[in-house]
Amino acid sequence: MKKMNRFFPALVVVSWLYVIVMMLRPVEVIAVHQNHSVTDILVKNFPLTNKGKIEWWKENARKLDKQHPFLLNRKGENFWVTIWDFKDGYQQEKPDDTTFFPSHSTDHLLCFEDIKAEERCIKKVNWLMQVTRATTGTMSYSMEGASYYQRPNGPLIREEH
């Protein structure tokens, strides 16, 4: 019993340290793919919370725009940015072999035409966040289970569904 009394607190401390280390890892931008006003950003180590995701975007949008212009600086124009988790890497365009019924569909993949290699697709289930700007300048942030919008110089407002 005494061993258990020492083991459990140590396990809790180690678990918390692991969570803290995982949350403090910097976001790694793997690739940016653009098609007109639509941009797909592939990342690793994206923040876990909605607040963290929006803050990351606000802190990094200008830097990303300098490296890969996607209309941030043009007032009165829309843009759409989708951020994807790159945890599975690029894959070949082929049907999903994990489904119960055989299928010839590749609808589960998003493939990038600017990549000429066979492995040029990612799984759509790895969607993390979408950022859009309307012609009015209103920013919208959508992620799993929540949507937010912000008018120019206005507060960030959570949309009720």
Sorted by where each begins, the domain ranges of the chain are 26-159
Is residue 7 helix, strand or coil? helix
H helices present in 25-151, as ranges: 50-67
Q: How far apart are CA 68 and CA 87, in angstroms?
A: 22
What is the helix (H) or strand (E) element at residue 137, kind and residue range?
none
State the pLDDT confidence band at 74, using cuts at 50, 70 and 90. Answer: low
What is the helix (H) or strand (E) element at residue 10, kind and residue range?
helix 2-24
Angle CA 157–35–30, to nearest 5? 75
What number is the average pLDDT over the span 29-37? 87
Read off the pTM: 0.81
| Residues 103-155 pLDDT 10s | 777 888 999 999 999 999 999 999 999 999 998 989 999 998 899 999 999 99
